[in-house]
Amino acid sequence: MTDDELWQVVQDREGRYSVWPQDRAAPLGWTTTGFAGRRAACVAHIDATWTDPLPARWRAVLDARTTAEPKGSAHA
């Protein structure tokens, strides 16, 4: 496997991104995003796309806390 070969951008259930050889099916738990190209291009695409580093279920918990409680009293 060399960097010259084609790669694709994949994403897991928690919204994490990664790259995977294009000629192989995405592993269990990962789905393709439709973006493919040289490895460096995929990485650059992820740099631009993956804006929230938090895993989705943890983000959901945090979001629920902010909507449930008025701001400023998060630790009450």
CA dist 71 and 19 (Å) reads: 38
Min. distance of Cβ 5 from other proteins in angstroms?
7
CA dist 28 and 38 (Å) reads: 23
CA dist 67 and 57 (Å) reads: 15
Min. distance of Cβ 58 from other proteins in angstroms?
4
Residues near other proteins, by CB under 8 A? 1-2, 5, 9-10, 12-14, 16-21, 24, 26-30, 39, 42-44, 46-47, 49-51, 53-55, 57-58, 61-62, 65, 74-76
Min. distance of Cβ 27 from other proteins in angstroms?
4
**Cβ proximity of 20 and 26 under 8 Å:** yes
